[in-house]
A and B are shown apart, each in its own frame.
Chain A
Amino acid sequence: MPYRAVKITRGRGGWGGPLIVKPEPGKDLIYCVTGGGIHPVAQRIAELSGGRAFDGFRSSAPEKQIACVVIDCGGTARIGVYPMKKILTIDVKPSSPSGPLMKFITEQLFVSGVRPEDVTLLEES
């Protein structure tokens, strides 16, 4: 399956973005660290982009294979750690930058409040 670029826009009450995610060979993981399995937003990104949905709590993968991360962070840790590593970060909760790591959280790296319908193929949007 060829990889395609998807556009991810902030949802209601959300912050940041829009982000463009396009998986590449060797960097195609849609890395889900929400707990409770693959979140519907991660599933949607994977289906549209051709990336591979991956549960970060079940197995581990090198950071360089990550195309983007889906989080459900209401706090301090996940919201900052991935942007700090320059990894595109999609928060399904409508969080705004906060905490000690907030300086790393930028509109180019982070988008929040995202629902499945906020993920679209880039050509469509």
Chain B
Amino acid sequence: MSMLRFDHCAGAGVTGAGPGMGAGTRGLLKYRAVIQEIGAQVPEFLPHGILIFFGPQAPAELREVSLVHTGATLQGAIEVGDWLCFREPPGEGDSADRETGRVLSYRVTAVGEVASANLAELGHLVVHFDGAAEAALPGTISVTPALLYLPPVGTILELLRLEDCHTYESGCGT
């Protein structure tokens, strides 16, 4: 399977909470899917700073606690330093974000040993927004900063590596 390279954010004109990045910075997009459904019990996990993702084949009882997305092929194992981005559809966030949609980015700080396999196989990923240096469980990843908003239906979920960045201060966004 070939690695997918692309000009991340080039000309996209997006704005949002993500730190700045020059247009044309190259990256490796590892995963991209669209959130289609948000389970009724998902909000119960927010106070714990946890979001659970599943691909479209998840059975009903797991959909209740999950953000269900379209699924994708994982293009490379998740690594510390990767970015998890939520590209929200237009109309969310402050007025400045409404036209293009808000982009929220989180840096991966820890990756459990089966997290990549779960994502590749089932579209399943458990994200702890705790910035921990070690994953709490084999199936989880940790990211920073804390989760402020539940991404709405229609949000594009991305995992990407930005190889040309000398610091991790750059993320998704413009």
| In the complex, B99 has a CB within 8 A of chain A | no
B104 within 8 A of A: no
Task: Say whether B124 contacts A77, CB under 8 Å.
Answer: yes
Number of A-B pairs, beta carbon distance below 8 Å: 63
Interface magnitude class on chain A: 20 to 34
Contact of A81 among B65, B113, B126 (CB under 8 A): B65
**Pair B59/A77 contact, Cβ less than 8 Å:** no
- What's the nearest-Cβ distance from chain A to residue B103, in Å? 26
Contact B140 A75 (CB under 8 A): yes
Question: In whole angstroms, how far apart are the Cα atoms of A77 and B48 in the complex?
Answer: 13
Q: Please report which residues of chain A, range 79-125, place their CB below 8 angstroms from some CB of chain B when the two chains form the complex.
A: 81-82, 85, 93, 95, 98-100
A57, B50: Cβ atoms closer than 8 Å:
no
Chain B: minimal CB distance from A113 (Å): 13
Whether the pair B52, A76 counts as a contact (CB closer than 8 A) is yes
Nearest Cβ on chain A to B37's Cβ, whole angstroms: 14
Stretch at the interface among B73-81, B89-97, B131-139, B150-158: B131-139
Q: What is the distance, in angstroms, from B57's C-beta to the closest C-beta of chain A?
A: 5
A48 is an interface residue with CB less than 8 A from chain B: no
